[in-house]
Amino acid sequence: MTDSFGSRLPLSRASIDRDHLSRPLGVPALLTDPASRVIVLHRRRVLLAGPGAIVLLPGSAAPAHELALYLGRAVEDEPDLPRGAPVLAVQVDDATAAALEADHPSGWGDLLRLGAELSVRDAGLFTEALALANWHASYGYSPRTGNPSIPDAAGWIRRDPDTGHELFPRTDPAIIVGITDDDDRLLLGSNALWEQNRFSLLAGFVEPGESLEAAVIREVFEESGVHVVDPVYKGSQPWPFPASLMIGFRARVAPGGSTAGRPDGEEILELRWFSRDELAAANAAEEVRLPGSTSIARAIIDDWYGGELPDGGRW
């Protein structure tokens, strides 16, 4: 991943030592460290200190919580977070969330909308915490025995208390592709779940036993009927909505291949090719709504465009 492209990926940023060696200490021991700090999650959102900043509470002031997760140790000295301090995330219920709002009028923030506005530190903390919390929500029971599982290792394991079987966090790899033709036009598609004027890159999950490059070629053909060749890796970004790693590529239409395309009619309802001038005009007029600046999709589009497109109709 080149530095210039990597700088376009807000959720790939982080400035924390994940410190796996301290995980066996457990949450209670980490919270009692006088330097510890806590971020607060509720319904996949984080408690905000103000515009573009998340709340860091002292560990001693951690609210009552349903789940606690160890995120790691600070690597820099900052006014609200000393170097080496353990940082945890706690997930709270509705009543606790409402009480917290009284002291924090900025309320709760959504990662999808705030990712590009947060600092490197806060973006990394929120992304890690949300991804880990989402995994816990999906693995309350052991898939091997059907028994309820419990958190262990400061949130990095779930364990079947009857058998001792351990479950580890899972991430689903998905490819996303900027496709160009011989005229360097970009192919965008409109998903069946979106408003009709929302367009983005084609994407899909990697199947078992499949390479990333093979997934690019297969997914593009399945969704569009377009044959592509020479997938080139651009970069990756965690996408905890709920548990993906988006792996970005550029690819080109196969020599002699048709650009006519055919939407699959299930996931993709419309396909359009855009020159740079056409996309800039359509975006500015909100004829086309593009992915927001938190997404790797937008990073690949802007990389192809040669700069940042005006906000236009972002979502």
Domain locations in the chain as residue ranges: 3-138, 172-305
How many other C-beta atoms are found inside a 10 Å radius of the C-beta of residue 81?
19
Written as one letter, the residue type at 108 is W
Instruction: State the number of CA atoms in the 13 A half-sphere of 166 facing the CB.
Output: 7
Task: Let me know if domain 3-138 sits in CATH 1.10.510.
Answer: no
Q: What is the pLDDT of residues 5-14, one digit of tens each?
A: 999 999 999 9
For residue 203, the SS3 value is strand
Whether 2 has a pLDDT exceeding 70, the answer reads no
> Rounded to whole angstroms, how far apart are CA atoms 233 and 196?
29
Alpha helix ranges (H) inside 117-250: 120-138, 212-224
C-alpha dihedral over 16, 88, 59, 54, to 10 degrees?
Answer: 70
For residue 37, which amino acid is it? R
| CA 73, chain centre distance (Å) | 21
3-class SS at 222? helix
How many Å apart are CA 244 and CA 9, to the nearest integer? 15
For residue 226, what are the contacts with CB-CB under 8 A and spacing of at least 6?
Answer: 179, 187, 220, 253, 257, 258, 259, 261
Topology alike, domains 3-138 and 172-305: yes
- Tell me the per-residue pLDDT of 98-142, one tens digit each, with 9 for 90 and over: 999 999 999 999 999 999 999 999 999 999 999 999 999 999 999
Rg from Cα positions in the chain: 22
pLDDT at 315 over 60: no
**Which tokens belong to 287?**
């004829």
Residue 307 binned pLDDT confidence (cut-offs 50, 70, 90): very high
Residue 1: what pLDDT?
Answer: 47
Residue 193, both tokens: 């779940």
CATH number for region 172-305: 3.90.79.10
Q: Does the pLDDT at position 295 exceed 60?
A: yes
Give pLDDT, residue 195: 84
